[in-house]
Homo-oligomer: A and B are copies of this chain.
Amino acid sequence: MTVGSLTWLILHGIGTCAYAASGAFVALQARYRLTGVFILGLTTSFGGGVIRNTIIGVPVIKLWDKDTLLLVVGTLTVLYLWSSRWIHQWKRWGLFFDSIGLASFSLQGALYAGQYTGNVGMTVMAALFTGIGGGVIRDLLAGRKPIALLEEVHAILTVVVGLAMWVGRDLKNHNVLLLGLFTFVVVVRMYVIGRKSQTLGERYNKSSQ
């Protein structure tokens, strides 16, 4: 996988924007305004990367390339300007964006850790903490219990990603594995949420009061 390829674009660009959007939705739900939308958007979208770079020992400043930053700020501006239309659809769209972020960041964590260590335990740990990190920081800043801790499927999927990436570490066609896992995580999570959304929604919203 090389930077600039389609796969990298999905993992990095789309994942970062999706987590930015989920941060904006949670900020609006917590009744934050302009500042809250941007700060929660930025911390959710870059939080996973901060954790990933801290784990590996790469300076965090390398995260903020000009293009990604512009993309995130653009996404947040659009969401903020249209916020009156979106706010009531958090349940559907907010969790969809959260799933995309979860998939892309857990894949990135597994990818980096696999390259640095080749160890199965560390690959799983990096997938887990890079995948859920941005969302956990987002929920703490909004004053609610992290959804990653309330929802069982969330962390289990990142563990599956870590294991699959370790098993398939010598595959020739790596991109197929990445896109397959990406789709698998998003579909499974949306399916499970669809079945349990009422129970979870109650626990999640209760924790934010």
Contacts and interface: CB of A to CB of B under 8 A. Distances in A.
Interface of A: 27, 30, 32-36, 38-40, 42, 50, 54-61, 64, 66, 69-70, 113, 116-117, 119, 121-122, 125-126, 128, 132, 136, 140-146, 148-152, 154-156, 207
The secondary structure that dominates the A interface is helix
22 contacts: A30-B145, A34-B152, A35-B151, A35-B156, A38-B155, A39-B132, A39-B149, A40-B149, A42-B128, A54-B60, A56-B61, A57-B60, A57-B61, A61-B117, A64-B119, A64-B121, A69-B121, A140-B141, A141-B145, A142-B145, A143-B144, A143-B145
Given A34-B152, A69-B122, 17 more contacts: A35-B154, A35-B155, A39-B148, A40-B149, A54-B60, A57-B58, A57-B59, A57-B60, A61-B113, A61-B117, A64-B121, A64-B122, A66-B121, A140-B140, A140-B141, A141-B145, A143-B145
Contacts of A149: 27, 30, 32, 35-36, 39-40, 141
A18 B132 CA distance: 24
Closest 4 CB pairs of A and B: A57-B59, A35-B155, A69-B121, A36-B149
A116 B63 CA distance: 13
Nearest to A125: B64
A150 B39 CA distance: 11
Nearest to A66: B121
A68 to B, nearest CB: 9
Nearest to A35: B155
Contacts of A39: 128, 132, 148-149, 155
